[in-house]
Amino acid sequence: MQPGRISRLARFVRVTNATQRTVIAERARVARGLIEVVLGLHLLPKLQPGEGLLLPGATMIDTTFMGYAIDLVFINRSQRVTRLVSRLQPWRMVAGANGGRDCLELPAGALEGTGTQRGDQLEMTPL
């Protein structure tokens, strides 16, 4: 699958870190449309282990009104990690994706044990 095109082709993807050979999300929903991207997890139940939400075009994330922390992975057009944010607490904002184009939201602590670092190559497999 060509990098940068996954969001238009699949509703759910499996996200793996090809550099570290680890799985980041077994099943990540791909947000579609402006409302889903802007509201993100505000529209969905709390993420469970192995789940994620991919937000195409999201370079700023806020956790206003959320009752739980999340992990963030910002990704550029080539699906390389540009920024990581672990355990972003409710009522916080992250702006600046260091060249990232999309954001993957994960349950807090999901990045632990994956070895994911800035510059790692991710792969997204349609489910």
pLDDT digits (tens, 9 = 90+) for 2-40: 445 554 556 999 999 999 999 999 999 998 887 777 777
Decide: 31 and 53 in contact? Cβ < 8 Å: yes
Give dist(CA 39, CA 11) in Å, integer. 17
For residue 111, is it within any domain?
yes
For residue 86, is it within any domain?
yes
Give dist(CA 114, CA 92) in Å, integer. 24
For residue 1, is it within any domain?
no
7: enclosing H helix or E strand: helix 6-9
Give dist(CA 102, CA 87) in Å, integer. 18
Q: What is the pTM of this model?
A: 0.90
CATH number of the domain encompassing residue 100:
2.60.120.1140
The string of pLDDT tens digits covering residues 57-99 is 999 999 998 989 999 999 999 999 999 999 999 999 999 889 9
Residue 125 has pLDDT above 50, yes or no: yes
Question: Which residues are CB-contacts of 117 (< 8 A; sequence separation ≥ 6)?
Answer: 19, 20, 81, 84
* Domain region containing 33: 6-126
Q: What angle do CA 106, 110, 112 make, to 5 degrees?
A: 145
Task: Please give the tally of structural domains in the chain.
Answer: 1
